[in-house]
Amino acid sequence: MSDVKVERLLINYKTLEEFKHFKEYGNQELSMGEDLEDNIVENDSVSPFYGIYYGNNLIARMSLYRMSKRYDAYFEPPQDYLTLWKLEVLPNYQGNGYGERLVEFAKSYSLPIKTNPRINSHGFWEKMGFQKAHYDMERDLGENPLIWLPEGVNEQTRKD
């Protein structure tokens, strides 16, 4: 699995076409294709989308956004963190470690990570070291976030 490469995806119509092979799980989420379409400017735009190719086929993808500590409702003290969205591996490639590889790539930034797990995916996130977040209830967005902290980062429990 170490030879599997995570790539930043270009913001273009080829990537949009590749996204059509993926299926969304969870009614509350927007389609990554819609996100991509809204961000299409040109190939060299900074993309929040990452993926893994098998040959010429995109088989796994995620969105990864860096968030400023001024928007932090999840970590104490407030700090910059990553939001990992819409992790998905095509059905024929599931169970081969591609989702884990995407998460490990996100962890390589050594920033705290927040994600909103899809239905029936809590076991995967727990295996990857994520835990239920204690967060600012005043800013609750109807999410059930899970968080991961890099080694050496201590979180103080927030008062709910």
The pLDDT tens digits of the residues spanning 75-123 come to 888 899 999 988 999 989 999 999 999 999 999 999 999 998 887 888 9
Its pTM stands at 0.75
Kindly list the distances between the CA atom of residue 10 and the CA atoms of 24, 34, 51, 55, 138, in Å, as whole numbers in the listed order.
20, 15, 10, 17, 36
Q: How many residues does the chain have?
A: 160
Domain boundaries in the chain?
6-148
Q: Which of 52-56, 98-102, 110-114, 136-140 has the lowest mean pLDDT?
A: 136-140
| Cβ-Cβ contacts under 8 Å for 4 (sequence gap 6 or more) | 52, 97, 98, 101
Are 74 and 156 within 8 A, CB to CB?
Answer: no
Considering the domain 6-148 in this protein, what is its CATH number? 3.40.630.30
Per-residue pLDDT tens over the stretch 119-130: 788 899 999 999
Model pLDDT, residue 50: 93
